Structure 1
Amino acid sequence: MISRETRLLLITIVVSVGALWLLARLRFQDRPVTAAPVVPVLAQLRPQSSYDDLARSLSNLRPGVSAAIAAAEDGRPALRIGGEVGVGLADSGFDLVRVPAADVPSVMAWTPRIFDYPRYLVAADLVDGNLSLRPVFVGSLVPVESPVWQGSIWRLPPGLTLAPGTFVFTTEGMFAGVAVEHAGAPSIVPGALVLGAAERLANQIPHVPGQLGLTVQSTPLGLAIAWVDPAGPAANELSATDLIETVNGRAVASADDWRARVRNIASGDEVKLQVRSEGARREVAIVAAAVVEPPDDPSLGLRMRTVARAGVEVLGVEPRSRADRAGIRAGDLITVFGPARTPTAAEVTHAFDTLPPGERILVAMTRGDGHHVVVVEKNLK
């Protein structure tokens, strides 16, 4: 690598040689023309492209990353931590998943010495189950404390294309972490936190998941209870609009804080909440109940209105209904429902009602600027 001073000296020499060559051409115009000496010298000063080196690094990384990253049974990328066990990103946390059997690689977590420093990281994408490595330029990393991820995560500059759940490595092959979205910004949960979460999950005693029977919402006044299940464990203790200040002595200020505090509770666990209502504070102890999955709704579950010469606009979708299972969302415009083209709401209802149990029907719809086809299946009676 040429130093700055040496480069300036060489540039001065090149400019001088160029000036002498130009003066000689003006003074001795009858002499044969010779090639300008400046271009070859400048070519020597031009830095070589590093793309070849980057491509070579990715090629060298592939064997190690291929051993570390595998596709879970549900298609998610997972970091292998056991012969048939991996850890993958779940809602506001991690979970253990089954992966194809293979040897367990050695994975070392990476921590940057300098955060505010531009660098390339390597994203390990799975495309149709096949590993694809791509470089991602990161201008800086900003450490941010996150109760959801139980430690400090690294916020990335806006605009980076890293899908949540993508595992990230350094160009030297160390495990940087996994991409997530935190507070609306792309971020990386560091490798050390991921490996720590995987170890806790692997050593966790199996338990029946618990729930408190309430939903919460962040407000300018604090974390408010939005709904209490009248048949749930908190029915006689809490009410909507109560403000939750702490969970088992730990402060909560947002819905993310709440999910981080209660996501691992088991049925039978006692959870102590400090709540504020009408200016008074009190402590409430609630025993978590087992999570009971509600049964599937066999109905189509659509609230809709007819749009003349266009189809049917979806106004709402009932949870766990056939439409919800198919992926239809509020705001979608149904343009084809089975045999009905540009259907009315009545034609959609009739087509589903007359569908034999266990049969499926194709539905075409528009969502924003995109066009999609989904399959609605009618339950067996």
Structure 2
Amino acid sequence: MRNRKTVVVLAGVLAVIVAGGLWLQLKPPGAKLAAPTAVPVRVVSVARQDVPRHVTGIGSVLSLHSVVIRPQVDGILTRLLVKEGQLVKTGDLLAAIDDRSIRASLDQARAQLAQNQAQLQVAQVNLQRYKLLSVDDGVSRQTYDQQQALVNQLKASTQGNQAAIDAAQVQLSYTQIRSPVSGRVGIRTVDEGNFLRTSDTQGLFSVTQIDPIAVEFSLPQQMLPSLQGLLATSPPASVEAYLGADTDSVTGDRLGEGHLSLIDNQIDTNTGTIRAKAEFDNPGQKLWPGQLVTIKIRTAVDKGALVVPPGVVQRGLDKHFVYRVKDDQVEIVPVQMVYQDSGQNIIQGVQAGDRLVSDGQSRLKAGARIEVLSEPPQQIQAANTGPQP
């Protein structure tokens, strides 16, 4: 009986072992641990090149000469010889005022001069005669002195007549209004036939010089030593003017390139800025008086600098760093920021040609696997937008 029970137990154990073996052989394979997913990123190559440094600011375009044309004599405006917007040169006739009254005064002064000159001629002949007679006491000394005084009086009269003629000629010249500068005629305020007075403050129109032209701008007072050095160079430092008044973006339309011409003689204590002026050739008239522009001055050139776009460099708690590609992974490399602007950064701590992550850094960490997107690595071109040394 005991042997039978033992056989039954052994048979049960054997059945369990067989069933377990079959289950192990037939069970579905378990899911393997998922491999880390590669992070898609974009990369750029570190470029080595000469990079000009610039400082930017807001400037206002100013004319070097702007004149309001006003009458210098009273009279009727008889002729307007220029049109609004016309370009004129120094000395060009702009307008004419009725000059008949002044010409009559000039003729009268000339006639008076001729009369006094005739009287002076007779008086001088008599003086010469009295001088000869006075030697033999033919005339008294008193008569001779009186004749000498008459001659002096007539000489003074002729000088006064000549002065009156000169004054009348000056007044007559004022009836011909000529341009004192070369420039562009503005909008006129009077028409032919109006009576003009010297007390009129509005004037006929203005003439404003357009070419060359100036831009006045302000920079922080800390820039004064740099500006002084730039002004002392030969030729002075170049200044570029761009459309608009946005110092964060100077890649718009370039209106012209000029040179630094002067620095103001004092610093504004209210704003802590120093004013400066640059002069521009303006043949295309892209710069216009009163226009607000962004100016860019090249202050230095970094030779053989390592350049990357701004998005490459990341900022940690106490330092800057970049993600450098090594095979299919990235490593964290600390870098030093040498110079930065809106278009590029100059860094130290990497080598020219190193591939750095430019987009997708938010999911990265040291040793993370990456997948470089299909487009080829970007090359740094931002530095080439400025003037080359």
TM-score range, shorter chain: under 0.3
TM-score, normalisation: structure 2? 0.22
TM-score, normalisation: structure 1? 0.22
* RCO higher in structure (CA 8 A, sep ≥6): 2
Larger radius of gyration: 2
